[in-house]
Amino acid sequence: MTTMAQVICGLARRWCFGALGSPLQVPCLQALPLHLGRTATRASQRDLENAVHQVKLWKKDPGNEVKLKLYALYKQATEGPCNLPKPGMMDLVNKAKWDAWSALGSLPKETARENYVDLVSSLSAASEPPSPAKPAADGEQAGGDLVVTSENHITTITFNRPAKKNAITTQMYQDIMLALQAASKDDSVLTVLTGNGEYYCSGNDLTNFTDIPPEGPEEKARTNAILLREFVDCFIDFPKPLVAVVNGPAVGISVTLLGLFDLVYASDRATFHTPFGPLGLSPEGCSSYTFPKMMGPSKAAEMLIFGRKLTAQEACAQGLVTEVFPDSTFQKEVWTRLRAYTKLPPNAVRTSREVMRSKGRERLHAVNAEECGALQQRWLSEECTSAVVRFLSRRGKL
């Protein structure tokens, strides 16, 4: 049986958009036009490397057809004509890649390199610029997958991928950390996390698991564990009150982190789901400690081990949510309340919070380290890889 690690290794070694769309829709590659704008100079190896780097910065998935074309040109440019055996009929992804590469026949390496560079350059020119990673100190930042605003002494970090239910990409983890660092130093009294659209957040973007480096899945698991640990550490150490404005369903890490927030206001449309069991995962965000402490071990087990989804009212009864509001008045009521809180003496707010938090901080860091170690193993397990493959293939991503 092919494991996800094998599938995604093959898929993702060469491009950053590891999930290839349904191979059944794979393209007539000959129909894809090449953009031959660089007639004056031949593309060098350096140009090729720059173009590969450029592709990694693309925010928008360019689609299967382009990804296959890029894959084929890259292989032709670096290895020459395809001389691998044809993959079996059932090996859909590798067969699509083999077909794309073989279709280039005996195209010289230099021409393939030039075509790769030209294709990337024309697509980069047509695509949006990458969203700035550095959050602004004040005012609104340009829209990207994460929007950071600072207004009326409230810094708001908004998950802004509504088409993907606000799933968190690797870049977003980095950007949230930067936003928290900036918010810890700005003049805001409160820092709010919320979501744009129907969802608060659908948790970790499951395609994060497909971008496997050349060193293999173990390296991916190791770097993910480091990233996760740093990310959760930022919440543990954050010095000001953290408020979650849970505008809709919340899944995975967006739920577990709530145990590190000071206030959690939820719309009555919100639900709270940690499907770690079905995903072959284990809890993170210090929830293995904060949830049992908050709701008792048995209710926490129901959520974290068995994946029971809570309604907003149930989550409120368990202490995970501070208060539930009718969806129709949610935004108005919550923001009015938060603005009133910003009028409180800021130093008193900060001091009260610090005395409430300081005693448990060391323990939380230890819990975080332990959870990340366990997850590093889980990500490499057959249980987890099969669950992620199931999710991605159901949605035509493999």
Ligand X SMILES: CCCCCC/C=C/C(=O)SCCNC(=O)CCNC(=O)[C@H](O)C(C)(C)COP(=O)(O)OP(=O)(O)OC[C@H]1O[C@@H](n2cnc3c(N)ncnc32)[C@H](O)[C@@H]1OP(=O)(O)O
Binding mask 364-393 toward ligand X (x if CB under 6 A, else -) reads: ---------------------------x--
Stretch that binds ligand X, among 117-125, 251-259, 318-326, 344-352 (CB under 6 A): 251-259
Q: Which stretch binds ligand X (CB under 6 A): 42-50, 51-59, 250-258, 347-355?
A: 250-258
Q: Which of 12, 4, 23, 3 is nearest to 93 (CA)?
A: 23
Spatial distance between the Cα atoms of 200 and 256, rounded to a whole number of angstroms: 13
What is the C-alpha to C-alpha distance for residues 74 and 47, in angstroms, rounded to an integer? 12
Q: Binding of ligand X at residue 64 (CB under 6 A)?
A: no
Among 79, 84, 83, 71, smallest CA distance to 115 is for 71
Decide: is 235 part of the binding site for ligand X (CB under 6 A). no
Least distance to ligand X, CB of residue 387, Å: 8
Q: How far is the CB of 172 from ligand X (least distance, A)?
A: 10
Given 47, 284, 314, 371, the residue binding ligand X (CB under 6 A)? 284
* Residue 227 is a binding residue for ligand X (CB under 6 A): yes
Closest residue by Cα to residue 176 from 289, 253, 281 = 253
Residue window 144-183: x/- pattern of binding to ligand X, with contact defined by CB under 6 A: --------------------xx-x--x--x----------
Tally Cβ neighbours within 10 Å of residue 320. 29
Q: Report the residue closest to ligand X, judged by CB.
A: 252
> In the 3-class helix/strand/coil scheme, how is 161-215 assigned residue by residue?
CHHHCCCECHHHHHHHHHHHHHHHHCCCCEEEEEECCCCCECCECHHHHHCCCCC
Residue with tokens 């390199």: 113
Residue 279 found at the interface with ligand X (CB under 6 A): yes
User: Coil, strand or helix: which one is 149?
Assistant: strand
CA distance to 247, 286, 312, per residue, from 326 (Å): 10, 29, 10
In this structure, are strands 310-311 and 250-251 parallel, antiparallel, or unpaired? Answer: unpaired
Contact string (CB under 6 A) for ligand X, positions 200-219, x = contact: --xxxxxxx-----------
Of the candidate spans 64-72, 223-231, 329-337, 359-367, the one that interacts with ligand X by CB under 6 A turns out to be 223-231
Would you count residue 270 as binding ligand X (CB under 6 A)? no
- Among 4, 5, 3, 1, smallest CA distance to 217 is for 5
Minimum distance, C-beta of residue 164 to ligand X, in the bound complex (Å) = 4
Q: Per CB under 6 A, which region of 104-112, 249-257, 315-323, 347-355 contacts ligand X?
A: 249-257
In sequence order, the 6+-apart residues with CB closer than 8 A to the CB of 255 are 203, 272, 273, 274, 285, 287, 320
Q: How far is the CB of 173 from ligand X (least distance, A)?
A: 6
Tokens of 327: 């969806």
- 224 makes contact with ligand X (CB under 6 A): yes
| 253 lies in the site for ligand X, by CB under 6 A | yes
Contacts with ligand X, residue ranges (CB under 6 A): 164-165, 167, 170, 173, 202-208, 224, 227-228, 251-253, 275, 279, 281, 284, 391, 395
